[in-house]
Amino acid sequence: MDPVLILGGGLAGLSTAVFLKRPWLLVEKEARVGGKTRTEVLHGGFHFDATGHWLHLRDPEMTSLVTTAWLPDGFVRIDRRAAVYSRGVFTRFPYQVNTSGLPAEVVAENLLGFIDATLGDKGRALREREPRNFEEFILRHLGEGFAKNFMVPYNRKLWTVPPAQLSAAWCSRFVPKPTLKEVVEGALGLGGDQLGYNASFLYPRQGGIEALPRALLQSATGGRVLVGTVPTKLDWRARTAALSSGETVRFSDVVSTIELPQLVRLLAEGPSGVPEEVRAAAGRLRSFTVTYVRVGARGLNRQPWHWVYLPEAEFQTYRIGSPSAVYAPLAPEGTASFYVEYSHAGERSRAACEAAAVEDLVAAQMVHRREDILFAEAEEIPHAYVIYDDAYGPARKTVMDFLAAARLYTAGRYGQWEYSSMEDALLAGRAAADTLNAA
Ligand SMILES: Cc1cc2nc3c(=O)[nH]c(=O)nc-3n(C[C@H](O)[C@H](O)[C@H](O)COP(=O)(O)OP(=O)(O)OC[C@H]3O[C@@H](n4cnc5c(N)ncnc54)[C@H](O)[C@@H]3O)c2cc1C
């Protein structure tokens, strides 16, 4: 039987290979597998993942595999310590249920806005219909104060477009909706930080997050991995692929984990082509780039926070994280490490991000002095997040319907073109393999 061709060796592609009971051939563009879960070790022991990569598990089989088989050197379990830095103070994340400590007028604005939105006359109109966009969702469920003081400016920075241009249906899934009791308790200093999906997480004891894809690669048997290779031509009717290695291979099925618009382009350029409306739909799928700056600094962490959200315009970054604050062995003794994140839809120079990262770290009180910074090096993640705008749902459906009819499978955050986690990528790979095993 011809092998299943797996495009991409991130977690979704590797998981597909692990669970397949048919021959497979995995083709990965980079020199090593891992995708977004690769770890770089720089300057004598600073371990950097692609920003933060913390493992949140909920599926029983994945939890068992990760904790018993896929992290051979063990793991650490960590309770999240995340904060928001706003008005010159750190408050615990999530902002909505931890406003105590902010200036009194900000707390009052947040609280009264929440009451108006959820119970008052002012919020009635929005309560009586479905929100038309993400900004309306924020106003409907959190109110004007939270919108103005955190949700709108923070999300504007992260998503690169105003929340009014984002789809409520897709974005609202990531926003916890607190109760009045939680909001009031948070304003009075009685708040918790367990709201939301990531209150605790796992992390490999050794090797950074790349320990996970490395172990998956070891567990994947019954196939072949080609790194440093891309398909140059994909003929979905003839079921053949020409590879940059010069080889042409026959395949029975494809599981693609590469970016969905890239897959459509590849198919469109191949002998079988794709219908014009599919190509046009793929052209409407948008994403943005994250440039993160890897920073090493002399001295231990000034702040205890694992990561900090920065909604205010005086900071160019939307989030600063610290690998060394999460897990000290990720930085050499006597040092601290950070990733400082910048999202952008067009070009943004690495040098500009590196300079901004130094400014932002000092201004946000994450380091004592600029002189303590040992290095600041930017790295880009193209297509880091897909943009859930109004075009997203219909355009994605057009593409997915075509792929289903052509019997081409996709998996993972970029194959499925969605906002999802490492565990989701592992689950998507398993689901694709299960479908093919049963075929
Ligand atoms: C900034 C950021 C932070 C994140 N933080 C977390 C977190 O804390 N926790 C969490 O659970 N998840 C997190 N995620 C999500 C997580 O990284 C992804 O869900 C997961 O790693 C996606 O795996 P994947 O295999 O679908 O995609 P990828 O890892 O992108 O794998 C796709 C692979 O395809 C390869 N490829 C691309 N084009 C070609 C081609 N033409 N031919 C061959 N190969 C190709 C790529 O090189 C790559 O190896 C984060 C994501 C980002 C962007």
pLDDT at 194: 59
Residues 380 and 297 in one domain: yes
pLDDT at 261: 98
Backbone φ, ψ for residue 138 (5° rounding): -65, -45
DSSP state of 272: T
Distance in angstroms (rounded) separating the CA atoms of residues 245 and 229: 6
Mean pLDDT of 388-408: 96
342: closest CA among 149, 157, 83?
Answer: 157
Place of tokens 């080609």: 226
Concatenating the DSSP letter of every residue in 277-299 gives HHHHHHHT--EEEEEEEEEEEES
pLDDT at 192: 65
CA of 116 to the centre of ligand 1 (A): 41
Which domain-ending residue is among 126, 152, 187? 187
Residues 275 and 303 in one domain: no
CA of 191 to the centre of ligand 1 (A): 34
First to last CA, the chain: 13
CA of 348 to the centre of ligand 1 (A): 21
Residues 165 and 211 in one domain: no
Residues 292 and 273 in one domain: no
- CA-proximal residue: ligand 1, atom 27 (nearest): 10
Mean pLDDT of 88-110: 96
Do 26 and 224 touch, CB atoms closer than 8 A?
A: yes
Residues 101 and 183 in one domain: yes
More confident residue, 327 or 190: 327
Residues 292 and 269 in one domain: no
Residues 294 and 270 in one domain: no
User: From start to end of 72-208, where are the E strands?
Assistant: 75-79, 82-86, 89-92, 200-204
Q: How distant is the alpha carbon of residue 361 from its chain centre? A: 22
pLDDT at 80: 92
Ligand 1 atom at shortest distance from the alpha carbon of 12: 25
CATH number at residue 158: 1.10.3110
Residue 31 to residues 220, 226, 331, 352, 388, Cα–Cα distance (Å): 18, 9, 25, 28, 31
More confident residue, 194 or 231: 231
Mean pLDDT of 349-358: 98
Is 298 inside any structural domain? yes
Ligand 1 atom at shortest distance from the alpha carbon of 385: 53
**Substitution candidate for ligand 1 out of 36, 58, 420 with most atoms within 8 A of CB:** 36
pLDDT in tens, 221-276: 999 999 999 999 999 999 999 999 999 999 999 999 999 999 999 999 999 999 99
Ligand 1 atom at shortest distance from the alpha carbon of 230: 42
CATH number at residue 337: 3.90.660.20
Is 333 inside any structural domain? yes
Mean pLDDT of 25-45: 98
Ligand 1 atom at shortest distance from the alpha carbon of 37: 21
* Percent of the chain scoring above 70 in pLDDT: 98
Mean pLDDT of 353-366: 98
pLDDT at 177: 86
Is the pLDDT confidence value at 138 over 90? yes
Question: What total of structural domains would you count in the chain?
Answer: 3
- Burial code (b: 16+ CB inside 10 Å, e: under 16) for 249-279 equals bebbbbbbbbbbbbbbbbbbebeeebeeebb
Mean pLDDT of 138-148: 96
CATH number at residue 220: 3.50.50.60
Is 79 inside any structural domain? no
Give the other-Cβ count within 10 Å of 308's Cβ. Answer: 25
How many helices and strands, by DSSP H and E, does the chain display? 17, 19
Which domain-ending residue is among 386, 408, 424? 386
pLDDT at 350: 97
DSSP state of 197: S
Residues 414 and 274 in one domain: yes
Distance in angstroms (rounded) separating the CA atoms of residues 386 and 98: 29
Is 85 inside any structural domain? no
Is 197 inside any structural domain? no
Burial of 86 (0-12, 13-18, 19+ CB in 10 A): buried
pTM for this model (two decimals): 0.96
Distance in angstroms (rounded) separating the CA atoms of residues 30 and 7: 12
Average pLDDT, the chain: 95
Output the ligand 1 site: residues, CB below 6 A. Answer: 7-13, 27-30, 35-37, 50-54, 56, 230-231, 257-258, 262, 290, 381, 384, 412-414, 420-425
- CA-proximal residue: ligand 1, atom 31 (nearest): 10
Is the pLDDT confidence value at 428 over 60? yes
Residues 382 and 408 in one domain: no
pLDDT in tens, 299-350: 999 999 999 999 999 999 999 999 999 999 999 999 999 999 999 999 999 9
Is the pLDDT confidence value at 133 over 90? yes
Residues 414 and 277 in one domain: yes
Do 77 and 202 touch, CB atoms closer than 8 A?
A: yes
More confident residue, 73 or 272: 272
247: closest CA among 263, 264, 228?
Answer: 228
Is the pLDDT confidence value at 12 over 90? yes
Is 86 inside any structural domain? no
Which residues, in sequence order, are bridge partners of residue 287?
386
Is 89 inside any structural domain? no
Residues 297 and 382 in one domain: yes
Do 207 and 39 touch, CB atoms closer than 8 A?
A: yes
Is 398 inside any structural domain? yes
| 11-19 vs 211-219: helix crossing angle, rounded to 10 | 30
Residues 343 and 375 in one domain: yes
Range of the structural domain that residue 232 is part of: 4-40+55-69+207-284+389-438
